[in-house]
Each structure stands twice: as structure tokens, then as C-alpha cells.
Copies of this chain bind each other. A is one copy, B any other.
Amino acid sequence: MTKVIFDCAISLDGFFAGENRSPSNPMGGISMKLHQWMFKQKAFWKHIKQEGGEEDGQDGKLIDDVFARTGSYIMGKRMFDEGEVVWAEDLFEADVFVLTHEMREPWVQKGSTTFYFINDGLESALELAKKSAQGKDVRIQGGAETIQQFLNAGLIDEFFIHITPIFLGKGIRLFEGIDEDKYELKVMEIIPSEYTTHIRYKLNKK
């Protein structure tokens, strides 16, 4: 059965992105610090269709796993704007539903990636994404605000966080303004790593 998931790195002080995000400053410039565990993995570079990476270990397997289980994506417009200028063609190999007020025709890429621009809210995007996922999972890709909206709407089934052992001090927090009474959370899996701490949570709506 399709689950609604997200999968993000955060700093130890809880930041998902830095300040002053824009297409010319994706994630507020902190991605190299926050995602160092990912950039070391061959699996990551394979998925973004570039050469790179040094390792082929457990951290990389987690990257493969989340790609494999995901059948479609939902993202916010700011994340799309930051990615549009840099992402390789057919990066997602799936349908991507972008939450936006902008009216725009679907952007069909070579391969199997199509971006759909959804103007009538997250429930509507989720319905389309579930249909598209065909039994695989729907991944809420980001940014933080989009994930917060899905969390507070009670729509998330499971998430993975990767806690990077760094302080960022400022920026955009992943868990900001989360409804305290929406879910019971359960730790399903903890995977230690030299570079980060992977924790998988399952959410049961109260």
C-alpha cells in the first residue's frame, strides 16, 4: 500500500536549509555541509546522473532504497525553482507534482519525468501523486514548509531523517510549528554511520 514519506538531512540544531534561499543560492548554501554523507556515496551521483562518489556502502544503500520505493514526488514551488536550473534531465524518473499558484503546462522531460503544476492544494496533489505511484510510495521532497504542511495535515506515514553532526546556527528548520497532538511516533530503525545518524520514524495519526 502506498505510504506518504519524506526523507531529509537536518543539522543537529534542526536546520534543513540556510538563509536567503534562491535559485542562485539553493538551500541557502549549506548543502555541502549538510549532505556531505550523501555526496560521498556513488549511489547519489548515479541517481543525479553524474560521475562521482567514493563509497558504495550502507549509506549509499539507503539512497538507493528511497529512490526504489518512491513512485511519485510532491514538492513546493521554491524547491522546484531552485532545482529547475540545475537538475539533470529526467532526474526523478517519475511524476513530480509541484504545489504552486502559477498556471503552467506539464513539463514532460525525455525519459519518464514529468512535472505537473498543481494549483488547488496539497490534498489534490496527493490524490494525483498516489494514483501515479501505482502502489509505490509518494515522497514529499520538500522544502521544509511543504513537509510541515503535510505533517500538520496528518498525511505523513513515515519519514527518515539523517542528523548530520554539525551546527548551522540559523536558517530554515525542518520541524517548525509542528502540531504536537497529531501523531504517535515510533522509532523503527536507527542506522549509525560515520557521517550522520539515520533514523526512521513511523507515524500513527491519533
Contacts and interface: CB of A to CB of B under 8 A. Distances in A.
A180 B197 contact: no
A136 interface: no
A168 B77 CA distance: 28
How often does this chain occur in the complex, in copies?
2
Interface residues on A, range: 20 to 34
Interface stretch (A48-56, A102-110, A122-130, A185-193): A185-193
A173 interface: yes
A185 B206 CA distance: 36
A14 interface: yes
A12 B169 contact: no
A172 B163 CA distance: 20
Interface of A: 12-14, 163, 165-170, 173, 175-180, 182-183, 185-187, 190, 192, 194, 197, 199, 201
5 contacts: A13-B175, A166-B185, A169-B179, A187-B192, A187-B194
